[in-house]
Amino acid sequence: MIKIRIFYKKKNWLRYIGDRDLSNFIQRALRRADFSLVYTSGYTPRIKIGFSPAVPFGIESECEYFDFYLEEWSDLGIMRAKLSQQFYPELELTEIVYHSETRSPHPRGCVYRVENGSGTEEIEHLFGKELVFPEGALRIVRIRYLV
């Protein structure tokens, strides 16, 4: 069993597709690409797959990923070509890597960027020092009024 991690960007109109619909789309694309996928056992076998934490609805993403398993080794270049044919251009593959079987650390946070007609501003600039948190601290920042 070989674990593959695929990083991708979600742009334009695809940001209005929910995370469950996107996961179904990705699973169908993997089946159509005809890889030797590993399925769960049981009454209704499903692809053994895991996704990065969901991005809020309506937000474009620069770095999301999903992990899945193959029964046999496959060339990464061929894999990229097959998946690029199945994905929309707005779902851009950025990187495909073989991943170790050990547990990966989960993302600890994310950086949001607000774009307006005149350019891009980083959220940290809008909040000043408010977004600088001590190591390991979790804080929810409401940015609704800025958008």
pLDDT tens digit sequence for 11-33: 888 888 888 999 999 999 999 99
65 and 91: one domain?
yes
| pLDDT(129) > 50 | no
Helical H runs in 18-122? 19-32, 76-86
- 26 within 8 A of 52, measured Cβ to Cβ: no
pLDDT tens digit sequence for 70-89: 998 888 888 889 988 988 88
The answer to whether residue 117 sits within a structural domain is: yes
What CATH number should be reported for the domain holding residue 81?
A: 3.30.70.580
The total domain count for the chain is 2
pLDDT tens digit sequence for 96-109: 888 776 555 565 56
Give the rounded distance of the alpha carbon of 81 from its chain centre.
Answer: 19
31 and 89: one domain?
yes
Question: For the chain, how far is it from start to end, CA to CA, in angstroms?
Answer: 45
Range of the domain at 127: 113-146
Are β-strands 61-70 and 113-116 bridged in parallel, bridged antiparallel, or unpaired?
unpaired
71 and 120: one domain?
no
